[in-house]
């Protein structure tokens, strides 16, 4: 409840490091560190056990998909701001583009549009006084909430069921390392007196205090820049750019201005060496490759058509091809297990032993996925396209969960959007601008920022639950209730903040731009179809006729094929050759935009791990684990401390504190 109530305030009013922000939420893990090291040991006989703590973690992690980028960051703005842009954009009014969208998708401003719309944009508070709860025009949000929130819940519940299906295959059969769960398990390990085992580890304290002190110093520098000296965590080699023209031309500026993240270095210690190398060197390889193509006039990073967010790019289709290749390789690796789960789920006998929770998880997954598809159909999306849309989402979610379970990659943003994929494969003439508009609206509202996807949260939670022998099925049901409770709190609290604090709706310029994307794209596609004389034909195509009218965008098709083949070849070689150096997941992460921020730290972690393994031994590796856990914990506390300082400062003075954003905002 606290996470869902406070996250938006911290992120967009105080403007500190996001409370959730990624799949390693500082609010969760920072609170866990403080609780385990200091508070729990003071509770004596009332101290929480490890089993109780992992249940708390599982429910809290599940709720993290609601208040930030998982839902509430985009949800309110993208369903009300189109009304404002309609007033400002002549092309929207000329094509009457708003009428092609089901009205239940947008906020209802028919009764008092000045109060509803202008109050959202400019705020309702006057003279620094906070507004009353009754001042919020709740009636305007009733209709879109009843449309969007059940759709989001259906997909969330389907993902929870899917997590139960995947757990045994990944954890027990493939023995994936779960680096973030390993870190968490070390935090909650206690002795007979309920004290954290880490309390007596000297290396842990050295790492934690060093990392925390560096960040605390840099926080204080933002407040007292003329007194203190910052500890530089960002290096600048930009003057060397002329030496690497292909790299810079392909967007590789990030490697010339690298940044150090202690948590990334620490987690690399618990991840397979070849995968850490893929995370570190993959984005550099993509930037160089993109630069080489750009020299020949082939632009792979920029949009060929459509907006910057949901347009068609070769890069995104290459990434999607890699995701599809990864998905089918995972299905193939666990084909016997998944077949047994399927047979038992539909009532057929099987000789294999399958957990009941996996069977019921599969049934829940199928039921809620079909419910999600039915809701898309209610939004005027053909059931065939709705099914394809849902399947693409499942592929993306499974690959995201795999990156967390195998690589501990907590900042996952697979920027592949089903609406763009369907558009690229079918073409504008087979879909029509109305269908593209609706598909893009669904993506903008519910799935535009997939860095707080639910499945990676549940993957870690299930691993922790299994390690403590806590029933996963019951906890999964409670996790669903936690998400519902989170929505009931996050929606009204977020709307109150947005109407009360005008800056809260203006600081997120990204969301402001995203609200225009579906309509601008629809206008552009309609104009293009009119110019070609195919508007009437595109509008009349429906059902299976869309497949007959498919005209794939050729560069996108080539990108998809290349991504799938690269993953397939790497996976096959990895199975056949023991010392094959390239991990297949390299081709899933190398085009991701956010991993460029962390690749230098992955390279440092890779070097540190190689050095220990080559010049030390297994005993040295084991002895250094507390040090790595310490630097992860220290950075998490360093990210959470500014938020605590900021809250106190805001309520004492009424002023916005100095921002300190550690991870990407």
Can you give the pLDDT at residue 506?
Answer: 67
Question: How many Cβ atoms are within 10 Å of 618's Cβ, its own excluded?
Answer: 9
Can you give the pLDDT at residue 632?
Answer: 97
pLDDT tens digits, residue range 580-620?
999 999 999 999 878 889 999 999 999 999 999 888 888 89
- Separation between Cα atoms, residue 69 and residue 156, nearest integer Å: 14
- Separation between Cα atoms, residue 312 and residue 110, nearest integer Å: 35
Query: Which of 88-97, 322-331, 511-520 has the lowest average pLDDT?
Result: 511-520
**Are 467 and 177 a contacting pair, CB within 8 Å?**
no
Say if residue 129's pLDDT is above 90: no
- Separation between Cα atoms, residue 197 and residue 38, nearest integer Å: 12
pLDDT tens digits, residue range 417-466?
999 999 999 999 999 899 999 999 999 999 988 889 999 999 999 999 99
How does residue 196 score in pLDDT terms, banded at 50, 70 and 90? confident
- Separation between Cα atoms, residue 556 and residue 451, nearest integer Å: 24
H helices within 252-382, ranges in order? 253-256, 262-268, 273-295, 314-333, 335-345, 356-378
- DSSP per-residue string spanning 245-273: HHHHHTTTHHHHS-B--HHHHHHHTTS-H
How high is the mean pLDDT of the chain? 92
- Separation between Cα atoms, residue 12 and residue 388, nearest integer Å: 35
User: Against a cut of 0.85, is the pTM above it?
Assistant: yes
- Separation between Cα atoms, residue 164 and residue 133, nearest integer Å: 40
Which of these, 406, 424, 442, 466, lies nearest to 589 by C-alpha position?
Answer: 406
Q: What are phi and psi of 425, to 5 degrees?
A: -80, -35
pLDDT tens digits, residue range 612-657?
988 888 889 999 999 999 999 999 999 999 999 999 999 898 888 9
Which residues are paired to 126 by β-bridges? 129
Question: How many Cβ atoms are within 10 Å of 602's Cβ, its own excluded?
Answer: 28
- Separation between Cα atoms, residue 188 and residue 202, nearest integer Å: 17
By the 10 Å C-beta count (0-12 exposed, 13-18 middle, 19+ buried), 543 is classed as exposed
The per-residue b/e assignment along 167-201, b for 16 or more CB within 10 angstroms, e otherwise, is bbbbbeeeebbbbbbbbbbbbbebeeebbbebeeb
- Separation between Cα atoms, residue 159 and residue 172, nearest integer Å: 20
Given the structure tokens 């080539």, which residue do they identify?
Answer: 558
- Separation between Cα atoms, residue 261 and residue 211, nearest integer Å: 10
């Amino acid at each position: 409840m606290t996470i869902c109530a406070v996250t938006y305030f911290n992120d967009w009013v105080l403007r500190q490091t996001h409370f959730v922000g990624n799949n390693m939420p500082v609010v969760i893990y920072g609170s866990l560190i403080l609780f385990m090291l200091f508070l729990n040991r003071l509770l004596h006989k009332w101290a929480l056990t490890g089993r109780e703590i992992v249940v708390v973690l599982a429910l809290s992690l599940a709720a993290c998909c609601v208040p930030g980028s998982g839902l509430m960051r985009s949800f309110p703005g993208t369903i009300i701001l189109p009304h404002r842009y309609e007033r400002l954009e002549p092309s929207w009014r000329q094509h009457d583009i708003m009428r092609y969208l089901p009205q239940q998708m947008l906020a209802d401003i028919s009764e008092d549009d000045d109060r509803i719309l202008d109050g959202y944009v400019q705020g309702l508070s006057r003279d620094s006084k906070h507004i009353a709860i009754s001042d919020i025009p709740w009636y305007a949000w009733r209709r879109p909430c009843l449309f969007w929130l059940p759709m989001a819940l259906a997909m969330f519940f389907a993902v929870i069921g899917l997590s139960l299906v995947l757990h045994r295959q990944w954890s027990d059969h493939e023995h994936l390392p779960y680096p973030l769960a390993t870190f968490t398990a070390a935090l909650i390990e206690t002795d007979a007196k309920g004290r954290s085992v880490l309390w007596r580890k000297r290396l842990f304290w050295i790492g934690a205090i060093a990392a925390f002190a560096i960040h605390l110093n840099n926080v204080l520098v933002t407040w007292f820049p003329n007194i203190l000296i910052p500890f530089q965590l960002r290096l600048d080699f930009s003057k060397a750019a002329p030496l690497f023209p292909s790299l810079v031309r392909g967007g590789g500026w990030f490697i010339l201005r690298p940044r150090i993240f202690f948590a990334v270095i620490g987690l690399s210690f618990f991840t397979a060496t070849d995968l850490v190398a893929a995370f570190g060197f993959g984005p550099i390889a993509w930037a160089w490759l993109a630069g080489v193509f750009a020299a020949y006039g082939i632009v792979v990073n920029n949009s060929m058509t459509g907006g910057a967010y949901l347009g068609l790019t070769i890069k995104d289709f290459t990434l999607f091809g890699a995701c599809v290749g990864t998905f089918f390789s995972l299905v193939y690796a666990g084909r016997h297990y998944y077949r047994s789960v399927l047979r038992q789920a539909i009532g057929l006998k099987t000789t294999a032993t399958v957990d009941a929770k996996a069977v019921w998880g599969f049934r829940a997954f199928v039921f809620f996925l079909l419910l999600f598809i039915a809701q898309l159909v209610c939004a005027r999306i053909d059931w065939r396209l709705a099914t394809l849309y849902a399947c693409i989402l499942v592929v993306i979610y499974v690959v995201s969960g795999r990156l967390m379970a195998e690589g501990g990659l907590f900042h996952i943003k697979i920027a592949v959007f089903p609406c763009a994929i369907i558009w690229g494969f079918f073409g504008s003439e087979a879909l029509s601008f109305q269908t593209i508009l609706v598909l893009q609206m669904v993506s903008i509202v519910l799935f535009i920022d997939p860095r707080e996807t639910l499945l990676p949260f549940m993957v870690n939670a299930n691993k922790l639950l299994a390690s403590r022998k806590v029933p996963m099925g019951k906890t999964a049901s409670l996790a669903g209730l936690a998400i519902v409770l989170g929505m009931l709190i996050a929606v009204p609290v977020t709307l109150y903040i947005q109407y009360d604090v005008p800056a809260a709706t203006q600081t997120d310029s990204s969301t402001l731009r995203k609200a225009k994307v579906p309509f601008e794209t629809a206008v552009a596609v309609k104009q293009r179809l009119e110019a070609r004389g195919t508007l009437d034909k595109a509008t009349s195509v429906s059902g299976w006729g869309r497949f007959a009218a498919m005209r794939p965008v050729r560069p996108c098709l080539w990108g998809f094929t290349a991504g799938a083949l690269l993953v397939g070849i790497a996976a096959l070689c990895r199975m056949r050759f023991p010392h094959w150096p390239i991990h297949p997941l390299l081709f899933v992460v190398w085009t991701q935009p956010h991993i460029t921020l962390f690749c230098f730290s992955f390279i440092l972690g890779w070097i540190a791990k190689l050095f220990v393994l080559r010049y030390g031994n297994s005993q040295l590796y084991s002895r250094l684990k507390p040090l790595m856990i310490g630097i992860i914990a220290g950075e998490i506390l360093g990210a959470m401390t500014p938020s605590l300082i900021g809250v106190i400062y805001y309520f004492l003075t009424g002023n916005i504190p100095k921002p300190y954003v550690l991870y990407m905002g």
